[in-house]
Amino acid sequence: MGTKRQFRIWRGDENGGDLQDYTVEVNEGEVVLDIIHRLQATDAPDLACRWNCKAGKCGSCSMEINGMPKLGCMTRMSTFTEDETVTVTPLRTFPVIRDLVTDVSFNYEKARETPAFAPPADVAPGDYRMQQVDVERSQEFRKCIECFLCQTVCHVVRDHEENKQAFSGPRYFIRAAELDMHPLDARTDRKEYAQAEQGLGFCNITKCCTEVCPEHIKITDNGIIPMKERVVDRRYDPLVWLGSKIFRRGETPQTSVTTARQGSATPPSTSRGGTHSHAGGSHDPHAEAQAQSGVNWHREVPHPTAPAVDDRGRLPLTELTFDRAAAPSPFGDDVTFPLPPEHLNFAHPEQDDKH
Amino acid sequence: MTTTTRIERHHYDVVVIGAGGAGLRAAIEARLAGKKTAIISKSLFGKAHTVMAEGGAAAAMGNVNSRDSWQVHFRDTMRGGKFLNNFRMAELHAKESPQRIWELETYGALFDRTKDGKISQRNFGGHEYPRLAHVGDRTGLELIRTLQQKIVSLQQEDHREFGSYDARIKVFSETTITELLLDGDRIAGAFGYYRESGEFILFEAPAVVLATGGVGRSYKVTSNSWEYTGDGHALALRAGATLINMEFLQFHPTGMVWPPSVKGILVTESVRGDGGVLKNSDGKRFMFDYVPDVFRKQYAETEEEADRWYTDPDNNRRPPELLPRDEVARAINSEVKAGRGSPAGGVFLDIASRRSSDEIRRRLPSMYHQFKELADVDITAEPMEVGPTCHYVMGGVEVDPDSGAAFGHVRGLFAAGEVSGGMHGSNRLGGNSLSDLLVFGKRAGGHAASYADGLDARPKVGVDAVEAAVETALAPLQRDTGESPYVLQQDLQAVMGDLVGIIRREGELADALGRLAELRERVAKVSAAGGRRYNPGWHLALDLRNMLVVSECTAKAALERQESRGGHTREDYPAMEPKWRQVNLVCALDGDTVRLTRKPLPKMRAELIGLFDRAELAKYLTDEELAEFDALAEEAGN
Ligand SMILES: Cc1cc2nc3c(=O)[nH]c(=O)nc-3n(C[C@H](O)[C@H](O)[C@H](O)COP(=O)(O)OP(=O)(O)OC[C@H]3O[C@@H](n4cnc5c(N)ncnc54)[C@H](O)[C@@H]3O)c2cc1C
Ligand code: SF4
Ligand code: SF4
Ligand code: FES
């Protein structure tokens, strides 16, 4: 009763690999993960892939489907046309372990560095009183299933291994935001922490993280932007401004978006289609080739542009020593927005339906 | 062979196998007791099965209805389990759940609130008062994330004190334990492999807490993930512990049956609690025809009364859609068998015509979103097609109720959560599992820590045992003549689903045992293609032998128990027998074969049995037991 469909799945490990073609039966109502399971039971018993719940609740089955970071168990086969080849690749930002399984330990390290909930000192268990409206703001972020799709899509680390040290990523910005908005959390420095230690300043609100979030968490609008706004408020308070010039120990002041930038917080770069470059930002010819074969957007790969790094090979983190206001463009200085449409290779979810 | 040289070795005081709610809570307790603790999990940290629990965690906090108390909760739990529960576990659970839930708030959990700012509680099948602490319909996620973050915060403390996050508590994710190692009758360690690399790993530890969850993967239609292969049950058996109540499996009445992408996924009971009703293909609300006598008094007889209950629960009886799960599952099964089912072999669950689209979306957000995305089904616009799905195993490791220490002839082994047995009797009430994880996870972790403290000398891991474990683990990779593990799993699922499913018959059960014996031969020769690195075929091949031995326990116990009770329904013995209530069926491993023995149930203390109506007890107890009860009552009267 099913139809035969074409799949291309990346097989390999940290030493390299390639896309392999499979012809596989697809039945009505199935999702991509069902097809991977069918392949395991037939042609490829050792095809590695993570999954648990098959219900979009555990965030294990993250993969890139036709170049778009998605949950395999939540991607219906009916979103592709019958003659379309479905290409499945591992998450790009994390090192491959085997096939579709990547080493996501980066995220667990960042989680470990984020200071935990600080219980109020004088409230006994059972005596916590909070209003529903107040907990709802944090609850939105606690919906997170830790699929790390937002982490993999964020351009700050997607093709920039060197930024991983200083940048925690959207998942941990909303963790900080969640605690910041927690009615009873005893710490008051969540925002400052996000700015100083998590690399919030790297984020230039492209909103790609929000677009891929399967839980539809408004990562940018409800999490990142409010955190940035408050940090900005403080920064433009003359006293704080002065204080921030005298660096406190262990605190590196970092670039931050300005209020002006906030005003146009939806620069053309965040319009439909987004601005991620799968290969454009990469400096490695091999990765370049892979991106090309993995993501078949029939377009020319733009020349890689090096980011504006300082003499240590790092992105300048301090706005005081940086030659421009606001964050450096992660797309390179020669890229202007809006991008010409032929340079876009980031698919909007709805785009699939049109194929 | 010098295989042991290639094995990574670790020393811990307490090793917790399983990173679900029970495992994490146990680990927190062991670490708080100052023990060096390891947490081992087959999947990534924070992804265990507990994330899937939707409805909530039952605890008699009395926030919504102040008449609730531990006594009422205890009564509901015993009723739900048809009095087969270990009464002491049910008692501890009812008493300690509220503290365990409140404690979560100090770890950062954010439950939904009542108007006066307390934790909100919702209605659920089998609970007399609104009792389930919840967060929308993602309570399990909140629970596991909270415990995960508490562990991180303990690691941060250790980092400040010792300079290393892993100094006193370390998580080994994507690591599977295949064998427990003994020194005489004492636990000496655990052996397993990293899924990622296929490399072996050996934990030397005097105390092991099993928190590995359930067995549902042995069934075709199940809400359980690949992790649920009964590993903990099988590990315990092989280490000399015993399993009880293995015949009792809960089939969730309302799993989706159509479309296939969501087959087996549960429609939470809160859909019914919030007004959803079950209808057959004639459009009839059939549950009114299936209220058993024991429940007559509590359930509405007319649709009008049932509908009034949603707004005025104090003056009306509850709708029969909220009967305990096994009753609902059986009712659906009967409707389908009578030819009144939906096209895909289920029945219709309708909330769309009863609540406004906005209200449904507000009260059941992730349910709405899940079905919309997964299957393009709009639950606010059309009824769902649902049917019974294998969901939860009541049976498990026989434990001491207070400490969670395993019975049988092994020391140093503890169990908590779904892998342990007794707490839920023959049937679990919705929401009782999440609080069970916390209550008994904490107990098992604490007692494992004090057991480790009490030892003069550490048990030693024998080299032979390790070499044997290595050999067993590598065997499927070294054979290329056997069958594929996927084929074997399908065959096993077919046997269990068709012959040891929701409605059971003597002939079929005997047949199942024959087939399981054949499967055992085939599983012994299974071969897996590929190498050791992240090879799911190999992993499944190793899990198969666990699934098999656990399935044998279930089939044997199901054949032995000649009555119907809770999660065990025998077509040939449809009635509940007071005599059988006095018996637990205990499975042990004798060499390779499963041995079944009968064991009397512990007797409930007088003040606990005194909480029940005589009329109610009459349905469950034998005449002698009733006479004893009367004597007690008389004494109390004097
Ligand atoms: C869909 C669904 C909905 C549910 N809804 C509710 C609800 O609303 N309320 C409620 O109270 N209960 C509910 N339950 C039941 C409840 O979620 C489970 O019973 C409970 O989460 C079990 O928790 P656990 O800690 O025992 O094990 P789990 O959370 O399942 O964790 C098992 C752990 O053991 C690990 N493990 C297993 N084998 C090995 C091995 N060999 N080596 C190493 N690690 C291993 C796994 O990786 C995992 O980390 C629901 C269950 C399901 C499936
Ligand atoms: S908005 Fe863009 S830059 Fe900021 S975290 Fe999200 S993906 Fe990264
Ligand atoms: S925020 Fe969304 S995309 Fe990011 S990890 Fe959480 S659920 Fe996934
Ligand atoms: S398998 Fe759990 S989110 Fe896909």
What are the strands, taking DSSP E only, across chain A? 3-13, 16-26, 62-65, 68-71, 86-89, 96-98, 101-102
Judge: B43–A60 Cβ closer than 8 Å, yes or no. Answer: yes
- Give distance in angstroms: CA of A169 to centre of ligand 2: 8
Asked if B272 is an active-site residue, the reply is yes
> Mind telling me how many Å the CA of B44 is from chain A's nearest CA?
8
Q: Distance of CA A153 to CAs A62, A157, A173, A222, A306, Å? A: 11, 8, 15, 18, 19
Judge: A76–B117 Cβ closer than 8 Å, yes or no. Answer: no
For the segment B509-530, what is each residue's pLDDT rounded down to a tens digit?
Answer: 999 999 999 999 999 999 998 8
Range of weakest confidence among A210-219, B14-23, B341-350, B594-603 = B341-350
Scanning the structure block, which residue is given the tokens 């303990």? Answer: B154
Q: What tokens does B576 get?
A: 């509940």
Q: Could you give the ipTM of this predicted complex?
A: 0.84
Range of weakest confidence among A320-324, B210-214, B607-611 = A320-324
Ligand 2 first shell, C-beta below 6 A: A 153-154, 156, 170, 203-209, 220, 224
pLDDT confidence of residue A336: 63
Q: How far apart are CA B193 and CA B185, in angstroms?
A: 24
pLDDT confidence of residue B272: 85
User: Which residues, including other chains, have CB under 8 Å from residue B64's CB and lie 6 or more apart?
Assistant: B114, B120, B121, B122, B129, B130
Q: Please say if the pLDDT value at position A274 is more than 50.
A: no
Judge: A29–B375 Cβ closer than 8 Å, yes or no. Answer: yes
Interval B468-493 mean pLDDT: 93
What rounded mean pLDDT belongs to chain B? Answer: 92
Quote the distance between the C-alpha of residue A203 and its chain's center: 11
pLDDT confidence of residue A231: 61
CA geometry: angle A181, A183, A184, nearest 5 deg:
120
Interval B353-374 mean pLDDT: 83
Cα-trace Rg, chain B? 24
For the segment A204-241, what is each residue's pLDDT rounded down to a tens digit?
Answer: 999 999 999 999 999 999 999 998 876 655 544 444 34
Is the pLDDT higher at B509 or at A348?
B509
What rounded mean pLDDT belongs to chain A? Answer: 76
Q: Please say if the pLDDT value at position A21 is more than 80.
A: yes
Residue B24: closest CA among B437, B369, B361: B437
Interval B551-563 mean pLDDT: 97
Nearest CA residue ID for atom 9, ligand 1: B431
The catalytically annotated residue of B79, B252, B391, B411 is: B252
Question: Looking at the CA of B51, which ligand is closest?
Answer: 1
CB atoms within 10 A of CB B146: 24
* Residues in A touching B530 (Cβ below 8 Å): 45-46
Q: Please say if the pLDDT value at position A199 is more than 50.
A: yes
For the segment A136-172, what is each residue's pLDDT rounded down to a tens digit?
Answer: 999 999 999 999 999 999 999 998 999 999 999 999 9
pLDDT band at A306 (very low <50, low <70, confident <90, very high): low
pLDDT band at B46 (very low <50, low <70, confident <90, very high): very high
Which three-class secondary structure string do you get for B424-481?
Answer: CCCCCCCCHHHHHHHHHHHHHHHHHHHHHHCCCCCCCCCHHHHHHHHHHHHHHHHCCC
Range of weakest confidence among A251-260, B81-90, B391-400 = A251-260
Measured from the Cα of A169, ligand 2's closest atom is 5
Q: Is B125 buried (19+), middle (13-18) or exposed (0-12) by CB count in 10 A?
A: buried
* Residues in B touching A51 (Cβ below 8 Å): 225-226
CB atoms within 10 A of CB B298: 15
Residue B301: closest CA among B278, B318, B281: B318
pLDDT band at B262 (very low <50, low <70, confident <90, very high): confident
Q: Please say if the pLDDT value at position B337 is more than 80.
A: no
* Residues in B touching A73 (Cβ below 8 Å): 374
Percent of chain B with pLDDT over 90: 72
pLDDT confidence of residue A330: 55
